[in-house]
Amino acid sequence: MTLAAATNETLAHTSNVLIYSSMAVYLLAFFANMAEWIFGSRSKVGRTAAALTGTADAASAVQVQVKQKNGGTAVLERPTVVTRAAAGARDVPDGPGASGGDEQGDLYGRIAISLITLGFLVEFSGVLTRALSVQRAPWGNMYEFNLTFSTVAVGVYLALLALKKNVRWLGLPLVTTVLLDLGLAVTVLYTASDQLVPALHSYWLYIHVSTAIFCGAVFYVGAVGTILYLFKDSYESKLAGGGAPGRFATSVMERLPASQSLDKFSYRVNAAVFPLWTFTIIAGSIWAGDAWGRYWGWDPKETWSFITWVAYAAYLHARATAGWKGRKAAYLALAAFGCWIFNYYGVNIFVTGKHSYAGV
Most confident region among 6-10, 264-268, 326-330 by mean pLDDT: 264-268
Which comes out higher in pLDDT, residue 51 or 296? 296
The full DSSP string for 145-211 is HHHHHHHHHHHHHHHHHHTT-S-GGGHHHHHHHHHHHHHHHHHTS-----PPPGGG-STHIIIIIHH
Q: Are the CB atoms for 146 and 360 separated by under 8 Å?
A: no
Burial class (CB in 10 A: 0-12, 13-18, 19+), 234: middle
- Cβ neighbour number for residue 88 with a 10 Å cutoff: 8
> d(Cα 77, Cα 57) in Å, to the nearest integer?
12
Q: What would the pLDDT profile of 225-277 be if each residue is shown by its tens digit? A: 999 999 999 998 888 888 888 888 888 888 899 998 999 999 999 999 999 99
Residues sharing a CB contact under 8 Å with residue 286, sequence separation 6 or more, in sequence order: 204, 295
Q: How far apart are CA 190 and CA 156, in angstroms?
A: 24
Contact between 138 and 18 under an 8 Å Cβ cutoff? The reply is: no
* Chain segment 100-149, per-residue pLDDT in tens: 888 888 999 999 999 999 999 999 999 999 999 888 888 878 898 899 99
Residue 213 burial (C-beta neighbours within 10 Å; 0-12, 13-18, 19+):
buried
Single-letter code of the amino acid located at 31 = F
For the segment 209-229, what is each residue's pLDDT rounded down to a tens digit? 899 999 999 999 999 999 999
d(CA 335, CA 219): 12
Burial 130-154 (b: 16+ CB within 10 A, else e): bbbbbebbbbbbbbbbbbbbbbbbb
Residues 92, 259 contacting (CB under 8 angstroms)? yes
| Residue 74: DSSP 8-state | E
- How confident is residue 81, by pLDDT bands cut at 50, 70 and 90? very low
Q: Is the pLDDT of residue 296 over 70?
A: yes
From its phi and psi, is residue 24 left (phi > 0), alpha (psi between -120 and 50) or beta? alpha
Percent of the chain exceeding pLDDT 90 equals: 45
Interstrand relation of 63-67 and 73-77 (parallel, antiparallel or unpaired): antiparallel
Closest CA to 229 of 260, 251, 271: 260
Q: At residue 66, what are phi and psi to the nearest 5 degrees?
A: -120, 130
* pTM of the predicted protein model: 0.82
Backbone region of residue 323 per phi and psi (left: phi > 0; alpha: psi in -120 to 50; beta: other values): left
